[in-house]
Structure formats: structure tokens, C-alpha cells
Amino acid sequence: MGIWVSFFAVIALVVIPLVGAQGGGQYFFGIFIPYVAVLTFIIGFIYRVVQWAKTPVPFKIPTTGGQMKSFSWIKPNPIDNPSSTGGVIVRMALEVFAFRSLFRNTRIELRDGPKLDYGSNKWLWVAALAFHYAFLVVFIRHFRLFMEPVPFFVGALESVDGFVEVGLPRLMISGVVLLLAALYLFLRRVAVPQLRYISLAADYFPLFLIIGLATSGILMRYFIRVDITSVKELVIGLVSFHPTIPKGIGVIFYIHLFLLSVLIAYFPFSKLMHAGGVFFSPTRNMPNDNRARRHINPWNYPVKVHTYAEYEDDFREKMIEVGLPVEKE
């Protein structure tokens, strides 16, 4: 169900600029939509982050994958179960750059009747790494269109990315890896019954969107080419706030741009916010020093208490009268 909703939503997102990006419509899809999308992305991102930052964390959540620091004769794991800020920074960096929690992914299978089999499953980790890093490379490569003059590292990255020198324009490995990894991430949701069961439209939609984005980009680079100089003129116009629509850019560019605009505008309201959310994961960003330092629940309100000393002050005379023992005479 969700899969078809997402699929046809993305198809619609392709058809809209295909039909609309003609004549005056080019100003709408080439200038108005990208500006709105960038604004939505930045404001929405900040809004979500501030919302998270306002949320109190009532407990330390030491769900960790290692031995905590305790007695001197028990060897602690300073990265998987850090007790200091330094350890937390290392753990967070490994999570952000190497997706360590995906590395721990396991698979459970029923084998030969009532026998449960646990095994390591690294495919998700491999595909996620490939996907994210390929996307990063593709993103950085696009800076050749955002900046004039082009920063030096873009050309360097491009020559590494295209070192197989297949075809003209040169085949970029990152583009192929990005598309294949995104396809794998989609296929695993369809092929694994358990995953299919828990997958929602919100899981399929970003995948289809990114697959569409990558496909339109690859089509534009290798098959239905557009005049890249005019494209850069348009993009430079956008970033320098002198927007122009150069004549004769093929509609495939407007499809690519529209899919990107939808992706970044959708970003703050979707699961894609894990980019910012990972820094707010209590299981990743808190040192496990439960026993060394008291964590006070920030939403604790001041509780009205009536201590025994106060109680005794109230009733001392009466207590002495009936012969009850008192602490203070």
C-alpha cells in the first residue's frame, strides 16, 4: 500500500515539471521553488533541532555495547561504554562517520524446526555506507555548479571519481554506487518479509525520491544532455540572488531540480532528519557515569514535602502529653 502511494507520488513529482516547466513555468520551477525549498530546509531543520534540544532527558540511558567503568580490576570499554566526554565524542564520531550501530546489525532465523539462529548481517551497513558516502561525493561534485570560481578540491575529487575514464562525459563512479546502493536499500525492504511488514510510505518515499533524483541526474549527464554552461548560469544566478533563466535548458534539468527541491523541503519533516537527530540520541550522546554522577531529571518539579522534623514541631506538646518519644525536647 505505502509503496504504491510513494511510487505514484514520485511519478507525479516527475510529471509536474515535465508538463509545467515551459515558458513562464520555468521561472516557477527554476527560481521560486528552489528558493522556497532551501528556506524550508534551513528553517525546518533549525526548528526540529530546537524542538529536540528543548526536550528533557529524564534518565541516563546506558544501552551500550561494552563493559562500563567500575572496579579497577574490570576492564572497561572506553568507546562503547564511555564514562567521559572524550569517549562520548569518539563514540559519536564513529557513529556518524562509520555507522557503528548498523555494524552490529544481526539476523535471526528459524532453522530446522525450533532452532533459532543468530548471525551477523553486514549488508545493511555496507549499503548504508556506500549510499551515504556516494551521496556526499555527488553533493560535493555539484559545487562546480554552485561556485565561481570552482574550488580546487572539486576538480581533484572529480578526477578521482572519474578515473576509469569511460565515455564522455566521464563516468563518475559515485553516481553508479549511489543509485545501486539506493536500489539495494529499497529492494531489501521489499524482499525481506519482516522489513516489508514494518515499512511505511514514509520509508519508501525518500528512497523513491532519491532514486528518481539520481536517475534524472545520470540521464542528464550521460543520455539526455543539457547545456551545462546555461545550467551553471542559472544556479549562479540563484546563489548570487540575481536569478535568471537562460534559454534552452532541457526539461530534464527542471525535473532534476524539482525532485531535489522536494527532497530538501521534505527533509526536516521526515526520517531523513536522522542527520541532525543522531546528535540527540541519548544512547549515543551521554556518558555512562550513572554511578559516579547523579543525573537529575530536568522536568522534576519542586515537590511539597512535610518532613518528620516539621511534623514533630507541629505536634510536640501533644506527643509529650500522651507519652510519645520525641527527638527534640
Partner 1 sequence: MYNKGLVITGIVIFVVFFTSPFLIGLVKSGPPPEPELSPKAKLAKQCVEAKEYMVESHMQMLNDWRNEAIREGKRIYVATDGKEYTVSLQNTCMDCHSNKSKFCDQCHNYAEVNPYCWECHIEPKEKL
**CB of 132: closest distance to partner 1 in angstroms?**
16
Which C-beta is closer to partner 1: that of 136 or that of 324?
136
Which C-beta is closer to partner 1: that of 79 or that of 154?
154
CB contact at 8 A, 105 and 121: yes
Stretch that binds partner 1, among 13-21, 183-191, 195-203, 243-251 (CB under 8 A): 243-251
**CB of 129: closest distance to partner 1 in angstroms?**
21
CA distances to 31, 235, 238 from 241, rounded to whole Å, are 10, 10, 5
Which C-beta is closer to partner 1: that of 2 or that of 276?
276
Which C-beta is closer to partner 1: that of 122 or that of 144?
144
CB contact at 8 A, 161 and 174: yes
Question: What is the size of the binding site for partner 1 (CB under 8 A)?
Answer: 49
Asked if 41 touches partner 1 (CB under 8 A), the answer is yes
For residue 137 the three cell numbers come to 561525493
Asked if 58 touches partner 1 (CB under 8 A), the answer is no
Asked if 161 touches partner 1 (CB under 8 A), the answer is no
Asked if 146 touches partner 1 (CB under 8 A), the answer is yes
Asked if 228 touches partner 1 (CB under 8 A), the answer is yes
Asked if 236 touches partner 1 (CB under 8 A), the answer is yes
Out of 46, 187, 191, 320, name the contact with partner 1 by CB under 8 A: 46
Spell out the SS3 assignment of the chain.
Answer: CHHHHHHHHHHHHHHHHHHHCCCCHHHHHHHHHHHHHHHHHHHHHHHHHHHHHHCCCCCCCCCCCCCCCCCCCCCCCCCCCCCCHHHHHHHHHHHHHHCHHHHCCEEEEEECCCEEEEEECCHHHHHHHHHHHHHHHHHHHCHHHHCCCCCHHHHHHHHHHCCCCCCCCCCCHHHHHHHHHHHHHHHHHHHCHHHHHHCCHHHHHHHHHHHHHHHHHHHHHHHCCCCHHHHHHHHHHHHCCCCCCCCCCCHHHHHHHHHHHHHHHHHHHCHHHHHHHHHHCHHHHCCCCCCCCCCCCCCCCCCCCCCHHHHHHHHHHHHHHCCCCCCCC
**CB of 13: closest distance to partner 1 in angstroms?**
22
Grid cell 578540491 in the structure block, residue: 153
Asked if 282 touches partner 1 (CB under 8 A), the answer is no
**CB of 236: closest distance to partner 1 in angstroms?**
5
Asked if 149 touches partner 1 (CB under 8 A), the answer is yes
Asked if 96 touches partner 1 (CB under 8 A), the answer is no
CA dihedral in degrees (25, 202, 267, 184; nearest 10)? -90
Asked if 119 touches partner 1 (CB under 8 A), the answer is no
Asked if 226 touches partner 1 (CB under 8 A), the answer is yes
Stretch that binds partner 1, among 42-50, 111-119, 181-189, 198-206 (CB under 8 A): 42-50
**CB of 143: closest distance to partner 1 in angstroms?**
7
Asked if 300 touches partner 1 (CB under 8 A), the answer is no
Which C-beta is closer to partner 1: that of 17 or that of 44?
44
Stretch that binds partner 1, among 67-75, 90-98, 120-128, 138-146 (CB under 8 A): 138-146
Cα(173)–Cα(87) distance, integer angstroms:
35
**Where along the sequence are the contacts to partner 1 (CB under 8 A)?**
38, 41-42, 45-46, 49-50, 53-57, 143-150, 154-155, 158-159, 165, 167-170, 225-230, 232-233, 236, 238-242, 246, 248, 250, 276, 279, 298
